[in-house]
Structure 1
Amino acid sequence: MESSSGSGLKKNSVSFYGLLGFTLAGVLAIIGPIEIASFIGDTGPAAIWPIILGYVLFVLVSFPILEYTRIAPFAGGYYGLAELGFGKTAGKFTSLANYSFYNFWQTANAFFISWLAIDTIYILYGILLPEWTWFLLSFLTIAVTYVMSVQRAKYLSRIVLYSILITLVAVIGFIAYVIIKTPYNSTYYLNPVHSYGGFGGIALATAVLGFYLFTGYGGALFYAEESENSRKNMWKAVYIGLTISAFIIALGAYSEVAAVNRIDLPVVGTASIPELVTWIHYIPRIALLAINMVILVVALIAFGGGAGSQSRLMWAMTRDGFIKSKRLNRLNSSRSTPTNAAAFDSLLAGITVMLVGLVMVYFYGYTPSTVADCFYVGGTASTILWYFHHFIPEFGLFTFLGKHKELKFSKARRYVSGLIIPVAGGVLFVYTFYLGIISDLVEPYLAFVVLAVLILIAIIVYTIYKKIKGELGNSTVEYMMAETGDVDDSK
């Protein structure tokens, strides 16, 4: 059933709408009403602003990355541009940083599903399911994610898109109903100056979770070699997906802060799932249970898109020979998917879930808050790792275009997309990160920031070691770029 492959991935199998589905799956707009507890806790009435700030940042920082997709569609995603711009050492470091991000992304996803199930039942009915069910649900999430990720890219993209769009209709219906019914609608909730902690509160909420909401936007990039006309379709799918996601998440946040009297917002901000403690004033318990379980099932389907990205990243590293494993380089002969790489990813994510869960329970006990915090700490580690695997290739575009003046990029476009935008995005991220995390970080988040930094240091040491040994492997993306020979400059 499996055979070694040099290129192997099924060409022209993912349409524009499939790329849109993978973008939405990465951002997961369907959990818009769910994943905003820290926004309300840190900003109160201004809960929509961490979402807006995160969206603006990602529109900025995605621009250079999407320029890259017009140069060489590459299954390894971000590390291809880092390699083109700064060479194999920077590229391979980026690949491992990206892979580490995905491992914590899967970890956070597993804890999200178990959190959603356990805390929904606890908040609505006062029943805390046993600790073993929490671990079981987390491991089942990883298992289902694997099963979805190894499906043919063409079919997976369709399943993801249709399931998300259908669920979004239901979610928007719930949001609209609450907004229509609440007597507390006001422009007061649209003003950022009403944040509890000023801009610092908005920054904290953005740094802890606002960035994590959108980090999955790049999931579609890893399907570039399998997509139809990636150079024209990729950037459109990503921007449309980001915009749809930001709008629905912000609308969900507004529906929750406007659902109760302002004096009750501090209490809402301490709730594990604010959607339940606010919408319950207008929607019956059984309906809230039903919508959250629907979101749970569709999220499980959607996670397959990102897990497929991770397995393609691993496969691309083995194709380059940076990771030397014939087994991980094999593609399933009938599906043309890296099933072995996906199995390895799942095993690593399962081990990480077990370790994080056991440590968190040891220090904080098994409580509804711990269940939620495990999701947030996974997101925190992912955000740190995302920063390093994302901004290196961003700046790589400017260097690459400077070395290849024959490409169809004007000087102005080179400076805007390759230098000005990355600098602006980097400054915004660092400033927000400083205000939100470095200057005001509490446990358990600090421990996971430190963990992410230690992982990055280990990756640096390992990459340097591989360079000294002459084992960085090949650069497939350079071959692809040479074969392409030009850049489509039309929008």
Structure 2
Amino acid sequence: MPTPPTLDTAATTTHGAQLSRSLGVGGNVLITLSGISPASSVFILGGAALATYGTGVFWGFALAGVISLLIALCYAELGSRHPIAGGDYSLVNRVLGPAAGAAVFFINLVTLPLIVAIFALGVADYLGVAIAGLDPLWTAIIVIVLATITACFNIRTNAWVTGAFLFVEMAALALLAVLGFVEVERPVTDLFDPQALDLASGGLAPLGIAGLVLAITQGIFSYNGYGGAIYFAEETRNARRAIARAVIWSAVITVLAELIPLTAILLGADSLEALFGAELPVESFLAGSAGDAVTVVVLIAVALAIVNAIIAIALQAGRLLFAAARDGAMPGGLARPLATVSAATKMPVAATVVMGVLALAACFVPFDVLLNATGSTLAFSYGFIALAAIAVRRQTNRETASGASTSAYFRMPLWPLAPIVALAAIATIFVIGILDPGQWLSLGIAAGIIAAGFAYYALYLRRNPGAAHLLDADEDDDLA
């Protein structure tokens, strides 16, 4: 007879401060998709990919979608096993140990504020079509302040706010898809042979394997963010079952919401050469198909989508710092205020405000430095997640063999395909980066951040027995 599930304090410990478990799967998905911002990904990252990789975007983003869904399965299994706040940090810390946890904590502590700054500095470019003369820096500062204030409201309010913005950006993507599919200029089979613009001749030329791999890398980066659902696991009802669904739904919707309009643009553009040669390919297609007035409205919607993403990422950033402080991953005098939860909103207000201040400071960093500091960290994060997924399945199998019930945990299908393919894709990205001197600075910064995390563990956490060690706690009954 199987024994009852054992208390998994590593998965459920709350260290005294708890967030409000008031989100359903839908609310979690709304906030997670808002952080991904499919519309801004299509206009910014998708547009850059079209200019560089041409029709290779179709295969590149399709294959990137497959890889992203496999990585999402890793997140889903880990999140089901450890449904608490903190995102990648909490998962890796509890599965691979505090040394790896410290490295991932440093990755996210640095990159989340920098990503907020990058997004905020780009808002003026899109709002500028309606409000002339906006200063990018002051626009960014105002947007970050307002987003941080909004992120301090209760989680259900944030789900409604981000959901409303998300509806607007999804409508913009639907318009792109309709415009492309209504007047198809070429059969879909034309996309099967990847071709990009040859700057020398002005015509199309075959895209090599290396270019296609880079297009896949761009697609993976464009889809990134579905793992953000883990940040809100502690606020999601019936988390052991619901969090896996939230991650997978977020990934599926993201891939479809980006791949479909990009494919529609490739099929509906009057001239692929003109599309790929345009300074802003997606905006160029929109203006040519719907006119300038509609383009202005859609670009304002993209600006709102970016603001929405900043709110969602501010929510994630606050929960990262809150979770690390609650774990004791920093000195007590610093950790205590950051690990508090507002009695009124059940939100980690102090941690959210601190991360907002860091994002404000990042706005004064040169833009190219911001891009280099965030460019290669994603691959490292996915690598830790894939390794953690392998480790957590081995732990679950051992518990099952000992007679413990593990039926409550989500188990990804086709094991171990997902983590193995993810690790292979990440290894490919590293090889490409190492071979490209232009990526060395970004890789070096990412490696330096990780080295700083391990050094922090060696010099502080390991020497302080109460730091970053999971404390005994009662099982949270609402996780079942």
* TM-score w.r.t. length of structure 2: 0.83
Partner of 1:365: none
Distance 1:407 1:50 in 2: 43
Report the counterpart of residue 386 of structure 1 in structure 2. 381
Residue 435 of structure 2 corresponds to which residue in structure 1? 439
Q: More displaced, 341-350 or 462-471?
A: 462-471
- Asked if the contact 1:78/1:94 (under 8 Å) is kept, the reply is yes
Question: How do 1:345-364 residues align onto structure 2 when only pairs under 5 Å count?
Answer: 345-357=355-367
Cα 1:112–1:382 shift into 2, 3 Å? farther
Matched-pair contact (CA < 8 Å) for 1:217–1:242: yes
Q: What's the counterpart of residue 364 of structure 1?
A: none
Give the distance between the partners of 2:295 and 2:83, measured in 1 at CA.
42
Q: What is the match of residue 320 of structure 1?
A: 327
Distance 1:91 1:234 in 2: 21
Deviations 1:248-291 (A, max 9, x none): 211222233331313324413xx2x3211222212221221111
Could you give the per-residue CA deviations for residues 133-188 of structure 1, whole angstroms, max 9, x where no partner exists?
A: 1222232332232122212111111221233124312430243124314x523214
- 1:291 maps to which of 273, 294, 298: 298
Residue 456 of structure 1 is aligned with which of 431, 450, 459?
450
Contact 1:73–1:231 at 8 Å: present in 2 too? yes
Q: Deviations over 1:352-373 (max 9, x none)?
A: 231133x66xxxxxxxxxxxxx
Pair 41,471 (structure 1): closer, same or farther in 2 beyond 3 Å? farther
Name which of 144, 147, 158 aligns with 1:145.
Answer: 147
Partners of 1:306 and 1:235 lie apart in 2 by 20
Contact 1:179 1:255 in 2 (8 A): yes
Q: Note the C-alpha offset of 1:190.
A: 3.2
Q: Does structure 1 conserve the Cα–Cα contact (< 8 Å) formed by 2:59 and 2:194?
A: no
Change beyond 3 A, Cα 1:115–1:407 = farther
% identity of equivalent residues? 16
Q: Which amino acid aligns with 1:110?
A: A
Structure 1 partner of 2:54: 44
Q: Partners in 2 of 1:26 and 1:211 — Cα distance?
A: 15
Structure 1: how far apart are the matches of 2:54 and 2:111?
A: 29
Measured in 1, the distance between the counterparts of 2:181 and 2:412 equals 44
Give the Cα separation in 2 of the matches to 1:467 and 1:323: 8
The two structures, once aligned, show a CA RMSD in angstroms of 3.1
State the 1:23 CA deviation: 2.4
- Matched with 1:473 is 467
Q: Give 1:431's aligned amino acid.
A: T
- Is 2:406 aligned against 1:397? no
Where does residue 82 of structure 2 map in the other structure? 72
Deviations 1:294-343 (A, max 9, x none): 22123312432222121111111111111231222222221111111112
Map 1:99-118 onto structure 2 (within 5 A): 99-117=109-127
Question: Partner of 1:308: helix, strand, or coil?
Answer: helix
Flag the 1:101–1:192 CA change in 2: closer, same or farther, 3 A. farther
Q: CA deviation at 1:43?
A: 1.6
- Residue in 1 that maps onto 2:202: none
Q: Alignment partner of 1:323: what SS?
A: coil
On the 8 A contact 1:401/1:407 being kept in 2, the answer is no
In the other structure, the counterpart of 2:187 is 186
Deviation at 1:434, TM superposition (A): 2.6
Task: For 1:283, give the aligned amino acid.
Answer: A
The answer as to whether partners of 1:212 and 1:382 remain within 8 angstroms in 2 is no
Amino acid at match of 1:61: I
Using a 3 Å threshold, how does the CA distance of structure 1 residues 90 and 25 change in structure 2: closer, same or farther? same
Structure 1 residues not aligned, in runs of 5+ = 361-373
Cα shift readout 1:8-48 (whole Å, capped 9, x = no counterpart): 44433111110111221132123354121231133202222
Q: What residue is the counterpart of 1:425 in the other structure?
A: 422
Q: Give yes or no for contact 2:383–2:422 (8 Å, CA) kept in 1.
A: no
Distance 1:93 1:396, change over 3 A: farther
| Unaligned segments of structure 2, at least 5 residues | 1-13, 197-205
Q: In structure 2, the residue corresponding to 1:331 is in which secondary structure?
A: coil
Change in CA separation of 1:98 and 1:202 when aligned onto 2, cut-off 3 Å: same
Farther off after superposition, 164-173 or 149-158: 164-173
C-alpha distance in structure 1 between counterparts of 2:295 and 2:330, whole Å: 46
User: Corresponding residue for 1:367?
Assistant: none
CA contact (8 A) 1:175 1:255 kept: yes
Alignment-mate amino acid for residue 17 of structure 1: G
- 8 Å contact 2:107–2:377 — kept in the other structure? no
For 1:154 and 1:109, how far apart are their aligned partners in 2?
24
Higher mean C-alpha displacement, 100-109 vs 68-77 = 100-109
1:201 to 2:211 alignment: yes
- Distance in 2 (CA, whole Å) between partners of 1:433 and 1:203 is 12
CA-CA distance at 1:80 after TM superposition: 3.1
Distance 1:486 1:341 in 2: 25
Give the corresponding residue for 2:234. 225
> Are residues 138 and 49 of structure 1, via their aligned partners in 2, closer, same or farther at CA, if it must alter by over 3 Å?
farther
Aligned length: 449
Show CA shifts across 1:49-103 (max 9, x none). 3322222112112223211222231112223332333333223333222333323
* Length-normalised TM-score, structure 1: 0.81
Residue pair 1:78, 1:393 contacting (<8 A) in 2 also: no
Asked if the contact 1:106–1:349 (Cα under 8 Å) also holds between the matched residues in 2, the reply is: yes
- Is the CA contact (8 Å cut-off) linking 1:398 and 1:415 kept in structure 2? no
Which stretch of structure 1 is more off in the superposition, 317-326 or 187-196? Answer: 187-196
Distance 2:209 2:299 in 1: 31
**Counterpart AA for 2:40:** I
One-letter amino acid of the counterpart of residue 400, structure 1: Q
Q: What is the rounded CA distance, in whole Å, between the counterparts of 2:294 and 2:167 in structure 1?
A: 19
Q: Distance in 1 between matches of 2:462 and 2:248?
A: 40
Q: 1:11 to 1:192 in 2, by over 3 A?
A: farther
Q: Hey, what does 2:171 align to over in structure 1?
A: 169
1:204 to 1:227, Cα distance in 2 relative to 1, 3 A: same
Deviates more, 1:105-114 or 1:48-57: 105-114
Where do 1:3-82 residues align within 5 Å?
6-35=15-44, 36-82=46-92
